[in-house]
């Protein structure tokens, strides 16, 4: 009787373990796939910008989210000029920023 109970317990454990392993090997669900794609598209966005983008992307509106999150050319120029001028101060920085924003 003890052998039978032991054999049944081992068999049950193996069955549960095999079922669990099979679940782990299933293809990702549609939601999981969408999350993976949206995470890649979100890139370096952070904070509220990322939350807004992910919400729009996961709800099926990635084009709209991308359009509203795009920076204007002026904003991109300002960002680059700020990076280039990080070691400058005062009048030197003002002059550099003025020239930089005009030239790009």
Residue 17 has pLDDT above 70, yes or no: no
Co-location of 32 and 60 in the same domain: yes
CB atoms closer than 10 angstroms to residue 57: 21
Indicate whether this model's pTM tops 0.85.
no
Q: Tell me if 23 is assigned to some domain.
A: yes
Residue 64 binned pLDDT confidence (cut-offs 50, 70, 90): very low
Q: Which token pair is 57? A: 């992307």
Same domain, 62 and 26: yes
Q: Are residues 80 and 45 in the same domain?
A: no
1 DSSP 8-state letter: -
Structural domains of the chain, count: 2
Q: Same domain for 20 and 59?
A: yes
Size of the chain in residues: 104
Q: Structural domain of residue 39, as residue ranges?
A: 16-70
Q: Is residue 55, in this structure, part of any structural domain at all?
A: yes
Residue 62 has pLDDT above 60, yes or no: no
């Amino acid at each position: 009787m003890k052998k039978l109970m032991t054999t049944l317990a081992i068999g049950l454990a193996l069955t549960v373990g095999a079922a669990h392993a099979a679940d782990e090997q299933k293809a990702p669900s549609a939601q999981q796939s969408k999350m993976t794609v949206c995470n890649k598209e979100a890139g370096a966005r952070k904070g509220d910008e990322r939350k807004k983008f992910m919400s729009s992307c996961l709800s099926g509106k990635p084009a709209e989210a991308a359009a509203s999150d795009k920076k204007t050319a002026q904003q991109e120029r300002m960002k680059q000029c700020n990076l280039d001028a990080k070691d400058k101060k005062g009048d030197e920085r003002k002059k550099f920023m003025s020239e930089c924003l005009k030239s790009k």
